[in-house]
Structure 1
Amino acid sequence: MESAITVEGLRKSFGSREVLHGIDFQVQAGSVFGVIGPNGAGKTTTMRCLLDIIRPSAGTLRVLGQDPRHGGPGLRRRIGYLPGELTLEARVTGRRLLDHYEAVSGPVSPGRIDELAERLNLDLDRHTRKLSKGNKQKLGLIQAFMHEPELLVLDEPTSGLDPLVQQEFLAMVQEARDRGQTVFLSSHVLSEVQQAADEVAILRDGRIVTVATVDALRESAVRHLRFTASGITADDAGALLGRVPGVGGVEVLTAGDGVELTAVLEGSIGPLVQALSRLELTDLVLEEPDLEESVLRLYGNNGNGRRGNGSRRREPQEEGSSHA
């Protein structure tokens, strides 16, 4: 399958500080590729290099078959871009602003802008200075999607959107993929990307930790297990679980005529099922895979990926305000 984006050995330094350390990945044409990482991991830097907003310090980039440094306006018109820090002209209405973007990006199908505005519940006749953060984000999404570009590059696209609009955005992404467009999006929220992406790259401290499909991540994800069994001692039940690959964190909750234990499973469920089939189970709860916990483990549990109060840590220098 043809690659829409190819990145080989990408490095980027700001002064003496290197923020991308030789990353490699490919995005297949017609797919949705998500980049997950804590704030400051290098997601925005990568996107800005791909769009030739900043120049890499080393490495090879190909975007829609071209070197972005030489693609010029012709390549840029084939791309829809939503920056992570969106700055809009404040003295015009949303409709006038989109007219300007249409003149830059190329033709837009009649009625397309109004259709997107209706889906996102945005009044295009209000001045942009009166728009909330969420409504400004909607305007940014419209300008990225409206000309149906071959490639969509979306940096934290659901920032400021309410849950209903987030679901509408995800529907727009799936429709774009169905039309053969390629979508490259970033987020620090795993649940957002796992709903949309075919493949995910996990980025930490300017390095790719892993690239995998969402299904592969789910197969290796963490599951929490609780069960009650009769006719077995706590020691014997713990020893049985201890021989199962991927099982850890075994804890006895109660003991007596029966035993209740909790454990954590990381990996395939098959060996666990075989082990439990030897027990006289009276209760069993196996939670859905916790992808969030798995990704935090890949981050190294250093705190950068921890869910908290939503504060954003900017990437050095390159994370400044950008115009759509």
Structure 2
Amino acid sequence: MSEETGGIGRFPTRRELLAAIGGAAATSSVDASGVTTREAPLRVRVYPGPVSIRAWARYGFSGITRNWPPPFRDAFAAIEDALNQVLSYASRQSRLTEFDVRLERGDLVQYPLSEASPSAESIIPSRDTVLSVFRDQVRGRNVGAGAESTAHVLFAWAPLNYRLGYGGTHPDLYRLGRVLGDGAYTAVNLGATEVWDSRVVSRNMAIHETLHTLISPSIAEAIGGTECDHDLGTAVRTDDGTLRVSPMATAYAGPDVAGINGGTRWPGTGCADIDRIHEGDPDAAVDQVEYTTELSDATLEAVTRFLEYVRDRLANDQPASG
């Protein structure tokens, strides 16, 4: 969506960058009808992590002055598209009226782990450590009022960090609005998806990890029959023998599935059941995998319901537990 239409996540002008306050370098918002507004009840703030010199060289140092290499920019745009899909879905049903979302760019997040004694945590930090450091840095900044309505997303570059994997959510603050006065925190390891997989996987995993903060287990179960939000994704076998995978199923359709070439190099080990996210004939042959950023109907409904729930709970100063 262009700047003229006020789309979420548009790239900033130089003036906007210089005028930005509190680390939100690029901000805009739209409500469900596409009307631009100044304030938003929901914020998704994306922060770049440090990128190695070797990685910068790989992308011709494009974006180095702003800490936003091409994979980060593409992943940011993918999140923008996913949020627009949700708002458009809700709008078609006259839901979430006058509800708007703001997608923002945050400042660089560093990993001050060198002060710790030499250990696996200082060399290859675990997912929980990365997310705890991320949260501590965010809390130390002026992130504005309404922190409980902000989902914080870290773009990490750690292609060799098997303990972080493709990413994940904070062990305690994994859902938006779960704790009053604090937001939700998640990380996506774009270094892993870029080095081991592809840009299309990077886009889908950015959406995947962000939407983890916007779906509760109870809503996932009500829609998909299980508390696992991964099962809201789809892996559809097409006529030409291709498995077409949507964001919430992306990490779970990999080469360990019989008959599939391609897919994510390191399939997830979380709560998904590959048989539940498949659609069509489960015995049909699959020759290759392709990815789509188009959200499944089940995912669109789950996020819409959760945003309605969070909106109502926050309006009454109650945490959105679950």
Same fold (TM over 0.5): no
TM-score, scaled relative to structure 2: 0.29
Name the TM-score, length of structure 1 as normaliser.
0.29
Higher strand proportion (structure 1 or 2): 1
The higher relative CO (CA closer than 8 Å, separation ≥ 6) is in 1
Which structure is larger by alpha-carbon Rg, 1 or 2? 1
